[in-house]
Amino acid sequence: MNKSAKKKTDDRMEKIVSLCKRRGYVYPSSEIYGGLNSCWDYGPLGAELKRNIKTFWWETMTNRRDDIEGLDSSILMSPKVWEASGHIENFTDPMIDCKVCKGRYRADQLEHARCMKKPSKTPLQCDGEFTEARNFNLMFKTFMGPLEDESAVIHLRPETAQGIYVNFLNVKNSSRQKIPFGIAQIGKAFRNEITPGNFIFRTREFEQMEMQFFVHPDEDQKWFEYWMEQRMNYYLELGLDKDKLRWHEHGPDDLAHYAKAAYDIEFLFPFGWQELEGVHNRTDFDLSRHMEHSGKDMRYFDERFTEKFLPYIIETSAGCDRTLLTVLVNGYDEVEIKGDTRVFLRLSPKIAPIKAAILPLVKKDGMPEVADKLYRELRGKFKVFYDHAGAIGRRYARMDEAGTPYCITVDGQTLEDQTVTVRDRDTMENPRMALDKVGEFLAEKVG
C-alpha cells in the first residue's frame, strides 16, 4: 500500500471514531479518567443502533422461524464447563515480546499490529527482535465468593456457545423441538486479547450473537451449506454492500481441532479484509465432551430413528459490536456539496437509531404545533426526533450525519393542504405526502 492510500484508510477510521464521539454513538470507556484500553461505551445513538442490530438478528434467527428457540444463559458458569470444552487447555493465542520496543504482540497477527515505538510500522517492519512465542490463555479469571484461593477461581465466559450446549437437554425437553432445530443466544463475552484494537473491532468485552443448530450427522453438510447461504443473505438484508463481503475458508492450518469445516464471512474494513462472522461444522465434539465430563446422556432419540445418536452442530457465530462497526464503515460517505464536504451515514432504515426527524420549517405560523402533534403521534411507534433549532439545511445535515433516513418537514403548505415533505437521506428527493400517511410510510420503510 502506498503512503497516500494508507493515509486515506487511517483517515477514514479516524473520521468514523470522531463521528461516533460527536454524534453519541461510541465514547471511550471511563473517559474522564483517561479511558480504559479496548473498552468502549455506547452513547444514545449507539445504544439504539446496537439494540436494533440485536433485534434484527433475533427476529431473523428466532421469531421469523419455528425451528429455533432463544436462550439467555449466565456469564459465570461451572469451572467444569471450561475443562470439558477445552478452553482451559486450548483457548490460547501465541504471544511474543519485542526485545527492542518492549511491545507484546499476537504472533499470528503481526501484520495487523502497530509497533509500540513506531506506530506507523508493523512489528515486522521495525527491525525488532522477538522472543519465542508462548501460549497465553485468553479467559478472564475472577473469584466466586469471599475466598480468593484456587478453589474459588471462576472465568468470565469467552463465548456464549457453551451456555447453549449445556442447556441442550433442557431446551429440547421444554420446547419439544425435534431435530433439526437450533438454539440462539445474544450475550456478553470476555477475552483478554493480547492486542485489541481498531476501535470496537477487537475489544476485551464484547457481545456475541450465536446460534447452534443441532442436526443428524448424516445431514451436516446440507445444513452447513444452508446456514452459509442464510447468513450471507442476512448481511445483504442488513444493507451491506455485496462487493465488501466475501467468504474465507479455514484451511488445514487454521481449522480448529474440533471443526470439520469452517468458513468466515469477511468484510472489507479500512484496515483490510477481516472476519465478521464464523459458520462452523463443530461435529459432535461439544456434546460428546459435555456428556463425558458431566456423565449426562446428551444423545438424541425420536421415533424417526432406529438408535440414539449425538447430534452434529452447525454454528453461526457473529459479533454484535463488530457488526455495528461494519454498518458504520459501510455507511460512512462524504459528498462535496457546494464546496463543503458533507458526511452521510447511510444506515439501513431497519437499524438506523432515529427513523425520522420531524422538523417545522420555521418556528412560527403554527408550524411547530403541527410538527409537535405529528411527533407525538409517531413517538412510541418509531424512534423519531423533533428539532426546531436552526436553519433547515443545518438540521438536515445533522440528521444525515446521524444516519437518519427521513426528514419530515412541516411548511407553509402543510397548513393549507395537510401535506408534508418527506426527504430521503440517500436520494435527496423530497416529495410531498399527506400528513396522515406518514405513519404508514414509515412502517413500510423501517419494518
Q: List interacting residues with ligand ATP (CB under 6 A).
A: 159, 191, 193, 202-203, 206, 208, 275-278, 317-319, 321-322
Rounded Cα distance between 63 and 56, Å, is: 10
- Cβ 26 to ligand ATP shortest distance, Å: 13
Q: Angle, to 10 degrees, between the axis of helix 320-331 and the axis of helix 44-58?
A: 110
- C-beta closer to ligand ATP: residue 277 or 400: 277
Of 73 and 317, nearer to ligand ATP (C-beta) is: 317
Closer CB to ligand ATP, residue 93 or residue 220? 93
User: How far is 403 from 393, CA to CA, in rounded Å?
Assistant: 15
CA distance from start to end of the chain: 41
**Closest CB to ligand ATP among 79 and 94?**
94
Inter-residue contact 257 to 242 (CB < 8 Å): no
Query: Which region, left, alpha or beta, applies to residue 17 given φ > 0 means left and ψ of -120 to 50 means alpha?
Result: alpha
Cα–Cα distance measured from residue 78 to residue 71, given in angstroms and rounded to the nearest whole number: 18
- Residues 184 and 71 sit within 8 Å (Cβ to Cβ): yes
Cα–Cα distances (Å) from 142 to 77, 155, 295, in that order, read 12, 6, 27
Q: Which of 440, 443, 404, 439 lies closest to 424, judged by CA?
A: 404
Instruction: Determine the angle formed by the axes of helices 3-23 and 392-402, rounding to 10 degrees.
Output: 110
Of 357, 372, 340, nearest to 424 by C-alpha is 357
CB of 312 to ligand ATP, least distance (A): 18
Smallest gap from Cβ 283 to ligand ATP, in A, equals 16
Q: Would you call 41 helix, strand, or coil by DSSP?
A: strand
The alpha helices in 379-437, defined as continuous H runs, are 392-402, 412-417
Which of residues 24 and 197 has its CB atom nearest to ligand ATP in the complex?
A: 197
Nearest distance in Å: CB 257, ligand ATP: 13
**Which residues lie below 8 Å from residue 247, measured CB to CB, with a gap of 6+?**
228, 232, 263, 264, 265, 266
Shortest distance, CB of residue 208 to ligand ATP, whole angstroms?
Answer: 5
With respect to ligand ATP, which residue has the nearer C-beta, 317 or 348? Answer: 317
Minimum separation from the CB atom of position 249 to ligand ATP (A): 13
Rounded Cα distance between 368 and 389, Å, is 11
Q: How far is the CB of 201 from ligand ATP (least distance, A)?
A: 6
CB of 314 to ligand ATP, least distance (A): 14
Q: How far apart are CA 227 and CA 183, in angstroms?
A: 14
Residue with smaller CB distance to ligand ATP, 161 or 358: 161
SS3 state of residue 388: coil
Which strands sit side by side in the sheet containing 92-97, from one edge to the other? 104-106, 92-97, 134-137
Classify residue 295 by burial, with Cβ atoms within 10 Å: 0-12, 13-18, 19+: exposed
Indicate the residue whose CB is closest to ligand ATP.
Answer: 319
Query: Which residue, 231 or 350, has its beta carbon nearer to ligand ATP?
Result: 231
Residue 427 in grid coordinates:
436520494
Identity of the residue, 283 or 404, whose beta carbon is nearer to ligand ATP in the bound complex? 283
Q: Which is nearer to ligand ATP, 26 or 276 (CB)?
A: 276
CA distances for 231 relative to 210, 225, 235, 243, angstroms: 12, 10, 7, 16
The residue type of 158 is P
Provide, rounded to whole angstroms, the least separation between the CB of residue 315 and ligand ATP. Answer: 9
Query: What's the closest the beta carbon of residue 198 comes to ligand ATP, in angstroms?
Result: 10
123 vs 368 by CB, closer to ligand ATP: 123
- Closest distance of CB 253 from ligand ATP, Å: 13
